[in-house]
Amino acid sequence: MLVNVKETVVETSSGEKKELGDYIGQVLLIVNVASQCGNTPQYEGLQALQDKYKEKGLVVLGFPCNDFGGQEPGTVDEIKKFCSSKFGANFEIFNKVHAKGQTTEPYTTLNKVEPIGDVSWNFEKFLVGKDGNVIARFQPNIDPFNEEIIAAIEVALTI
């Protein structure tokens, strides 16, 4: 099933509504993040991905989520400060979301991507092409610099 995020409306960290369609023409890596998770060191890799491919059009979007083990209890400002001070991460962080159960966007839309269903844990990744179509879904334990992710990003950036 083809899933497109162009009309998906999310909430920025300042509470403003934003359409993911605003990113058309860029490749997105959308990740549900958490500051107290075993996968939290992936923040560093996510930032490194954005640094490496930003000029070619990659944008990493982080959506804090407290659905899994209560591992993201902080406020958005606390989360952003933690990300930048501990991991040097300055990619865009949005308001907290729900990625399972009573989901909020972007996960109400993203959870329709194969394998269909709720996000399984913190740091699940969705790669979105320049046209807004979701290209791939990567499990939480897959490191941002995994060969499969790098290959998918490089292909998406050339299309």
The residues that are catalytic are 37
Between 147-158 and 42-53, two packed helices, what is the crossing angle to 10 degrees?
30
Amino acid letter, 37? C
For residue 81, the tally of other CB atoms under 10 A from its CB is 12
At residue 37, what are phi and psi to the nearest 5 degrees?
A: -110, 155
Q: Where are the beta strands (DSSP E) in the chain?
A: 9-11, 17-19, 27-33, 58-64, 92-93, 125-128, 134-138
The encoded tokens of residue 115 equal 């394998």
The two tokens of residue 3 are 């899933």
